[in-house]
Amino acid sequence: MVTAVTDTPAAAFDPAICPRLVVKIGSSLLVDAAGAVRTQWLAGVVADLAQRRQQGQQIVIVSSGAIALGARRLGLDKGGRASLEDAQAAAAVGQVALAGVWEALLGAQGLTAAQVLLTLGDLEDRRRYLNVAATIARLLDLGALPVLNENDTVATTEIRFGDNDRLAARAAQAAGASGVILLSDVDGLYTANPANDPTARRLAVVKALTPEIEAMATGETRSGMGSGGMAAKLLAARMAGAAGIALAICDGRVERPLSHFADAGGGTLFLPPRTARGKKAWLAGRILVAGTISVDAGAAAALKRGASLLAAGVVRVDGRFRRGDVVAIAGPDGAVLGRGLAGYDADDAARIMGLRNEAQGPVLGYAPRAALVHADHLVLI
Ligand code: GLU
Which residues are bridge partners to 59 per DSSP? Answer: 21
Q: Which residues touch 366 (CB under 8 Å, ≥6 apart)?
A: none
Tell whether ligand 1 has an atom less than 6 A from the beta carbon of residue 164. yes
Instruction: Quote the pLDDT of residue 285.
Output: 74
Burial class (CB in 10 A: 0-12, 13-18, 19+), 195: exposed
Instruction: Quote the pLDDT of residue 136.
Output: 95
pTM for the model stands at 0.77
* pLDDT(254) > 70: yes
pLDDT, mean of residues 23-44: 94
- What angle in degrees, to the nearest 10, is found between the helix axes of 39-54 and 84-108? 60
Beta carbons within 10 angstroms of residue 343's beta carbon:
21
Give the whole-angstrom CA distance, residue 128 versus residue 122.
5
**Three-class SS of residue 71?**
helix
Beta carbons within 10 angstroms of residue 253's beta carbon:
14
* pLDDT(276) > 70: no
Atom of ligand 1 nearest to the CA of 67: 10
pLDDT, mean of residues 201-205: 92
In whole angstroms, how far apart are CA 302 and each of 107, 141, 312, 368? Answer: 55, 43, 12, 20
- What angle in degrees, to the nearest 10, is found between the helix axes of 257-264 and 39-54? 60
* pLDDT(5) > 80: no
Tell whether ligand 1 has an atom less than 6 A from the beta carbon of residue 150. yes
User: Which of 148-157, 190-199, 310-319 holds the top average pLDDT?
Assistant: 310-319
Give the whole-angstrom CA distance, residue 178 versus residue 333.
34
Atom of ligand 1 nearest to the CA of 162: 6
Instruction: Quote the pLDDT of residue 226.
Output: 53
CA atoms within 13 A on the CB side of 43: 8
Instruction: Quote the pLDDT of residue 4.
Output: 41
Q: Decide if 227 contacts 255 (C-beta within 8 A).
A: no
Q: Decide if 306 contacts 375 (C-beta within 8 A).
A: yes
Q: How far does residue 283's CA lie from ligand 1's centre (Å)?
A: 24
Which residues are bridge partners to 269 per DSSP? Answer: 205, 248
Give the whole-angstrom CA distance, residue 279 versus residue 281.
5
Instruction: Quote the pLDDT of residue 274.
Output: 61
pLDDT category, 6, cuts 50, 70, 90? very low
Q: Which of 5-9, 146-150, 227-231, 351-355 has the lowest mean pLDDT?
A: 5-9
Mean predicted lDDT score pLDDT of the chain = 89
Instruction: Quote the pLDDT of residue 160.
Output: 74
Burial class (CB in 10 A: 0-12, 13-18, 19+), 194: middle
Q: Which of 19-23, 140-144, 178-182, 362-366 has the lowest mean pLDDT?
A: 362-366
Structural domains of the chain, with CATH: 9-281 (3.40.1160.10), 289-380 (2.30.130.10)
The pLDDT tens digits for 88-108 are 999 999 999 999 999 999 999
The pLDDT tens digits for 69-85 are 999 999 999 989 999 99
Give the whole-angstrom CA distance, residue 179 versus residue 247.
6
Q: Among the residues of the chain, which ranges form H helices?
A: 27-30, 39-54, 66-74, 84-108, 120-124, 126-141, 164-175, 211-214, 229-242, 257-264, 278-284, 297-304, 346-352, 357-364
pLDDT, mean of residues 209-219: 82
* pLDDT(159) > 70: no
Atom of ligand 1 nearest to the CA of 70: 10
Instruction: Quote the pLDDT of residue 278.
Output: 67
Instruction: Quote the pLDDT of residue 198.
Output: 87
The pLDDT tens digits for 336-375 are 999 998 999 999 999 999 999 889 988 898 888 889 998 8
pLDDT, mean of residues 279-298: 85
Q: Decide if 373 contacts 362 (C-beta within 8 A).
A: no
First to last CA, the chain: 22
Instruction: Quote the pLDDT of residue 59.
Output: 97
Instruction: Quote the pLDDT of residue 194.
Output: 80
Mutate to test the pocket of ligand 1, among 86, 152, 161, 170 (most ligand atoms within 8 A of CB): 152
Nearest CA among 327, 311, 325 for reference residue 360: 311
Using DSSP bridges, classify how beta strands 326-330 and 314-319 pair: parallel, antiparallel or unpaired: unpaired
Mutate to test the pocket of ligand 1, among 64, 93, 117, 185 (most ligand atoms within 8 A of CB): 64
Q: How far does residue 162's CA lie from ligand 1's centre (Å)?
A: 7
Tell whether ligand 1 has an atom less than 6 A from the beta carbon of residue 228. yes
Instruction: Quote the pLDDT of residue 235.
Output: 92
Q: Decide if 17 contacts 157 (C-beta within 8 A).
A: no
Q: How far does residue 229's CA lie from ligand 1's centre (Å)?
A: 12
